[in-house]
Chains A and B, each alone.
Chain A
Amino acid sequence: MIDFGFTLSKSSTVDLNKIDHSRYDQLVKLVPTARMCMNCGSCGATCTVSEYKGMSVRKVLYGIQRGEDVKAMLSSCMLCGKCTMVCPRGINTRNLILNLCKLYD
């Protein structure tokens, strides 16, 4: 095959058989506004630590909905609150991160 300088990533098809929604459901109970995310990415664009660990509340939220490991992102958050300030949906992102940090064992 001709080398175009990029590769195809592994398919990330959503596999409902394998996804564990329990953590997301717990989170929604604690922070109801978590449901309002529309994946616009404002949080990631303003995030103080996105340049180091690729942190973004958007990625955290869809990550836990797909059962991915988001711990590395969570442990880099400094809770500065910029994402809360810019969220067009008014999601309490700081509280969301803080609560998620309690939900892992």
Chain B
Amino acid sequence: MIDRIPSGFHPFVIPFLVGMAFVLLYCFGAMIRVLYELSWQDRKKFFLSLLNPKILLKDIKDIFLNCLIHVPLWKRNKLFGYMHSSIAFGWFMIILLGHIEVLLFVPGRINLFYYPIFFNYFVAEDDVTLRGSLLFFLMDFFLLLIMSGIAIAIFRRIKNHVFGVKRMARPTFLNLVGLYSLWAIFPLRWLAESFTAHISGGSFMTIPANWLFRQFLGNELNMLPTWWAYSIALCVFMCVLPFTRYMHIPAEMLLIPMRNAGLKVRSSRKGFARVEFFSCPNCGVCIDACPMTVDNGNVKDCTVYLTRQLRRNNEERIQEISDKCLLCGKCEALCQVGVEGPGLRILERARRDYTVPFLYPAGDKKVESRKVLYFAGCMTHLTPAIGRSVEAIMKKAGIDFTWLDEQGGLCCGRPMFTAGRIAEAKAIVANMEKLILESGCDTLLVSCPICYKMFREQYNLPGVEIVNYIPFINNLINTGRIKVEKSDICYVYHDPCELGRGCGMYEEPRKLLGRSAGIAEAGHNREESICCGGSLGSLSLDFSQRENMTKAALNDLYTSNADAIATACPLCQATFARYADRPVKDIAEIVNNQIL
């Protein structure tokens, strides 16, 4: 290969250079801004993580697997995975191979930024070009790969349901500009390389096209316009990139190392949170996941719209979206990039000012000293059968225990926490910690998953083991302190949000239920379980607005054709029982009835 243009420059590269300079400067500025917004501890943590070879290797591996190959997407939907990885990985390979070509054939030009991108225009074949035929083949192969991905993307816009995705986020005008320019880039590159193929050489895609075009179009006249068009398409894409969903491409490359460094969101608007909401690719997985979007309601209150409004600083909408959410966590569990929808919303709620201070009311409560302390929680006092069943099981097993809140009057602080009143929740936590530690117990037994999550994450109780009642009862059966017999009723198990996605407990309840009754699975289970709609997470959803959500979750449970519904949360039980056409029981009640 030899240089064809002696100066190594042509004006058509200018649009590309402008776009590239703009996007690089913008991303660099944005990165500096984010680093500046981090607290100094976080900043230190982040920089130190980059010096740690183990974390650095993980960063590189994660960026390669997530951003280029899109592994999580492959696991979710093969066609989607193919579509994204073909474009991302193919594009990366074309850029990489372009650099290799320049290094191999015209090493003197490697300092020219645009050379690898427009290589085929600037070179001509000579008699030793055969050495490059593998590279030419690979270039055409990856171009074909990308174009197959683009073809799927275009088809998807027309027939969305083929992909198993019902709803997508409504694209904004700039998102459409970005989308169409992205679609245009690769066919234009193919055309440009084809028109030039008789000079610069090519492979199975470009040489036949060059021959074909020669028959009726001629190549020479079309060469420059298509290279211009290719360069302009690149320029348009890169100029709109920072203002569209495609910002997720650079943002995710910062998000992954930051997450690997152990950074957490501390504010809903700044620092790590900013990287998170810029990393949202607007794919809309959260729309189908969200329990509020039943019957196409509340679509604009999903996490994808939260990230969009956070980018726009639309205060009114941000408040509305963050107050409505049930905080069930399904959007976060299914999110491909790991945007923490519920966490961002809680932090957003924490920005509100309350003029009436909170004064902890239950300060003088005392509790007896026993080995095991049982905390039922507020909700269990509305469904006392659960608390009484746990009590009966403990008595039958001969456990030395007492109630922490037999007459009620104590709250774990989780509802205050999810309402965004973090300092007030911490006041509750501090008082509760004091009460529990003073009792001298060694085990705190919790039957409500909402409280359990709070105890696990926010409490510091040295010397006290915090256990959920499900593993506790399982353990009683394992050690032979109680024996259960299996009933012939078949239950479908509903994963409560706070126990499943919240605490990662999926198999223990199934094991316990399976020991005392038949068990069936709902249409959506484990991390895809649908919220009952009763969640305390939502501040603004009224009782009447929740009815459809509960009914939709019930319909999903009914698909199992089970005789009854089993759950492990007093709130889910109370919510479902109102609308269900079959009995709704807590696992504790079922086990208690089956004890021999």
Give me the interface of A with B, judged by CB distance under 8 Å: 33, 46, 48-49, 51-53, 55, 71, 74-82, 84-87, 90-92, 94-95, 98, 100-105
Q: How many residues of B contact A (CB 8 A)?
A: 36
Contact B415–A79 (Cβ < 8 Å): yes
Query: Are A51 and B378 within 8 A (Cβ)?
Result: no
The reply to whether A76 and B543 form a contact with Cβ atoms under 8 Å apart is no
Report the nearest B residue to A77, measured CB to CB.
Answer: B358
**What are 27 of the A-B contact pairs (CB < 8 Å)?**
A48-B378, A48-B409, A49-B361, A49-B409, A51-B407, A51-B408, A51-B409, A52-B361, A52-B362, A52-B409, A74-B356, A75-B359, A79-B411, A79-B419, A80-B415, A81-B379, A82-B381, A84-B536, A85-B382, A90-B543, A94-B536, A95-B540, A98-B354, A102-B353, A102-B356, A104-B355, A105-B355
Which residue of A is nearest B534, CB measured? A85
Looking at the assembled complex, report how far the CB atom of A90 sits from the nearest CB atom of chain B, in whole angstroms.
Answer: 3
Q: Which residues on B are within 8 Å of A, measured CB to CB?
A: 323, 352-359, 361-362, 378-379, 381-382, 407-411, 413, 415-416, 419, 421, 428, 534, 536, 539-544, 571, 574
- Rounded to whole angstroms, the CA-CA distance of A5 and B4 in the bound complex is 112
Determine whether the beta carbon of B574 is less than 8 Å from that of A102: no
For A91, list chain B residues within 8 Å (CB). 543
How far, in Å, is A79 (CB) from chain B's closest CB?
4
Centre residue among B354, B381, B544, B574 by max chain A CB count within 10 A: B354
- In whole angstroms, what is the CA distance A79 to B9 when docked? 68
Where chain B touches its partner, the secondary structure class is loop
> Complex formed: what's the CA distance from A80 to B451 in Å?
11
Report, nearest first, the 8 A-B pairs whose CB atoms are least far apart: A90-B543, A52-B361, A76-B361, A80-B378, A78-B411, A101-B356, A101-B354, A81-B536
Compute how far the CA of A91 lies from the CA of B540 in the bound complex, rounded to whole angstroms.
11
Q: A48-B409, A71-B356 are in contact. List 10 more A-B contacts (CB 8 A).
A: A46-B381, A52-B361, A75-B358, A76-B359, A78-B416, A80-B536, A82-B381, A90-B542, A91-B543, A95-B323
Q: For A86, what are the chain B residues with a Cβ–Cβ distance below 8 Å?
A: 382
The answer to whether A79 touches B356 (Cβ under 8 A) is no
Chain A residues near B361 (CB-CB < 8 A): 49, 52-53, 55, 76, 78
Residue of A nearest to B407 (CB): A51
